[in-house]
Amino acid sequence: MVTVDKIGRMSRAAKSAQVAMMIQAMLGLVGIVLLSGFFFGGTVEPESAAGFLVLTYVLGLVSTGLIGWLAFNWDSRKRSIWGAALAVESLLALFSVAGLVLGPESRAADLIDFNLVVPAAVVILLLLPSVRTWFDR
């Protein structure tokens, strides 16, 4: 009879964080494809908006690629993957809060936003002891 070692199994919190990061990466790819339509479709009219769109495109591309890479290297169980995932998700949550605080038309209902709730949930999941013990190598 084969027994499964408790240390070798991924906790539900770790799996939930990984799935949330995969969903973020997939939705980020959809956003990149849609934003690519603005660039290659020639629909960017004002020149002042072009710089902002390029910055948004590059930041979206980098964060989506990094989140996807971290989520798909989750099984390596390296502590550096945990630290990088914690840093990236914390930055995403911080940028979302900064956008709400600095936005001229921010409301309390804007706090329930995918761009804030999911990174904050992943940060909370990553800080759980069961997830930290998963990344022990």
pLDDT in tens, 76-128: 889 999 999 999 999 999 988 887 788 777 776 667 788 889 999 999 999 99
Using pLDDT thresholds of 50, 70 and 90, give the confidence band for residue 1: very low
pLDDT of residue 109: 67
Quick one: tokens of 25? 């990466």
The pLDDT assigned to 4 comes to 45
pTM across the whole model: 0.81
Q: How far apart are CA 56 and CA 65, in angstroms?
A: 14
